Amino acid sequence: MPHLSWSDQEEVDGGGSRSNPERFLGQNYEELQRDFVKHRARFIDDKFPPNASSIGEGLLTSSELEQVEWIRPTKLVADPQLVVDGESRFDLAQGELGNCWFLAAICAITFQQDLVDEIIPGGQSFREDYVGIFHFRFWRFGRWVDVVIDDKLPTIDGRLIFVHCKTCNEFWPALLEKAYAKVCGSYADLNGGLISEALCDFTGGVFLSLALKENHPEHWNLMYRAKKYKSLMGCGSHHGATSANTALPNGIVEGHAYTVTGVTQVMSDGQPIKLVRLLNPWGHKEWNGDWSDRSPLWGSVHKEERTRLLDSKDNGEFWMSIKDFCISFANVEICCLSPAFLDGSSPESWITARYEGQWDEKTGGGSMERTQSFWTNPQYRVKIPAIETHDGDGQGFNLLVSLMQKPNNRHRRHVHNEHIGFSVFVIPPELKAQKVFPAQFFSSSAPVARSKGVSDSRQVEEFLRLKPGYYLIVPFTYKPNTPASFLITLYSK
């Protein structure tokens, strides 16, 4: 099994790299910290002020907003701590905000201490040189950003409104949520989303969105390999017919994000049983069917293994069979540093190329239906070498194309996503030296691969299996002359 560290992949050491992140909104944590220590003052963030604008519209009623008081942890409890006994997936309790997608991602990162240490930089506390300022780091559209916040948290009647810790004097989840709310525009901008978005913003990694199918033989194998490669995983339950977040009789909450915390196989009466462990970020409401905490099926498992795997606490975490998992959940999101988990290959056998680009009146040619303008879209080349592929579990995938559109508004809920996609063409050997391919090339060449249609998602990606040779990748918006910026990342074997 390869050792993967979230610190292993380093971008060019310039602004926006892991080691040198951009200062979000120009705020320099070190300078601000020194300045407020020198003047013995408490920091108040004028870029994300402790008032109704930072909570956002539509989240609280006007009467609730009038009751909100922004209080520092030092005023809430006698002995505030950033972290108590390490960051744990069981620390969290969701507040009055529909951001289970974000909380499920937080639970996932607690399994990777090196990743947690990047997101929550060290040297921060409520004791030494405390002036009410903290900072956190996220990956945003190709660049790492360092986000400064003050520690004033929104409360009503002395209680935190949004995410909080079960340990009353531990505040890392609440402050991390505030920093992410600042990045996205407000707390209201975190209301609703996909776990893949948060996993990507926490890691800058590759992600695979897998639509689950009942009795599919490969789903568990892929998840098992992904776990061996230290991947982060989450999943979403099916949406209900009426409203989201309704608990079914079997304990599964409809339209809800969960963290995948374990993938294993046990022997039950001599038969192998494939299991998946999940965590409801609410910290309660668990599956109560086969292989749940109190299922009699655990009596058929060897005592030592049962003791190692089973925890009967009502903490939101539970096991279920892969069969029940695929029935109860719609999709699983897998995020890792490298696509190597697909086929069990070495992470070093994959290389990455990342490009920033844009569509405008000159480079927005629209989809292939626009035969005369399609060629004006940005064009990118990739070489697929002749190498031995693993034609087993990974299905011989040797290229991942990821196309992410950048936001046109700081406020996440006001971002307008265009319908985007990409097409892949073979470059004939005699045209290897061609710099720009004209309309005639595309009118006589059919794509050998493409994204699954066009989508207004933040990101579209496809794992491809291509023969050795040279290829042209053309990202596009469905409508021509549509102004938008994008990030395209190519992972090739």
Instruction: Just list the catalytic residues.
Output: 100, 256, 280
In sequence order, which ranges of 215-289 are alpha helices (DSSP H)? 219-228
**Cβ 286 vs Cβ 316: under 8 Å:** yes
CA dist 255 and 242 (Å) reads 10
If you write DSSP's letter for every residue of 104-119 in order, what string do you get?
Answer: HHHHHHTT-HHHHHHH
CA dist 251 and 473 (Å) reads 45
DSSP structure class, residue 158: T
What angle in degrees, to the nearest 10, is found between the helix axes of 195-203 and 100-109? 40
CA dist 355 and 337 (Å) reads 18
Question: Which of 288, 292, 289, 332 shows the shortest CA–CA distance to 309?
Answer: 292
CA dist 335 and 422 (Å) reads 21
**Cβ 253 vs Cβ 237: under 8 Å:** yes
CA dist 379 and 375 (Å) reads 8
3-state secondary structure at position 288: coil
Strands 329-336 and 206-211: antiparallel
CA dist 283 and 166 (Å) reads 9
Neighbours of 11 (CB within 10 A): 18
Strands 22-23 and 143-150: parallel
**Cβ 152 vs Cβ 70: under 8 Å:** yes
Q: What are the φ/ψ torsions at residue 61 (nearest 5 degrees)? A: -70, 165
3-state secondary structure at position 93: strand
